[in-house]
Amino acid sequence: DIQMTQSPSSLSASVGDRVKITCRASLSISSYLNWYQQKPGKAPKVLIYAASSLQSGVPSRFSGSGSGTDFTLTISSLQPEDFATYYCQQSHSTPGGLTFGGGTKVEMK
């Protein structure tokens, strides 16, 4: 299985900050990488698919980059509603062998 490693596992930031979360795959997954946001008690919601494509309806302050093994989710200016946990997920193995990163919790400083 492809292992996905996210860093950091948590971070503290303020409204307006630029936030970057990284995800590393244990082998090359081309651009087959998705990012999800999860708020407490809710199901995850896709933000970015195929490494850099913004899901319809998602604010443009979210962006994704990377290919191969190293990927980044960037929030350009953190908003109050962005405090949540973020997960990466590889789709290189679709339809089987899907794996998620361990998550990054973004907390208020």
Burial of 108 (0-12, 13-18, 19+ CB in 10 A): exposed
Nearer Cβ to another protein (17/65): 65
Instruction: Candidates 13-21, 39-47, 63-71, 72-80: pick the segment binding another protein (CB under 8 A).
Output: 39-47
Asked if 106 and 83 touch (Cβ cutoff 8 Å), the reply is yes
Distance, CA of 21 to CA of 6 (rounded, Å): 7
Among 19, 32, 37, 78, the residue binding another protein under the rule CB under 8 A is: 32
Instruction: Candidates 14-22, 60-68, 75-83, 92-100: pick the segment binding another protein (CB under 8 A).
Output: 92-100
Size of the site for another protein (CB under 8 A): 28
Distance, CA of 108 to CA of 56 (rounded, Å): 26
Asked if 64 and 71 touch (Cβ cutoff 8 Å), the reply is yes
Nearer Cβ to another protein (16/40): 40
Residue with token string 């908003």: 79
Q: What residue ranges bind another protein (CB under 8 A)?
A: 1, 30, 32, 34, 36, 38, 42-46, 49-50, 55, 87, 89, 91-92, 94-103
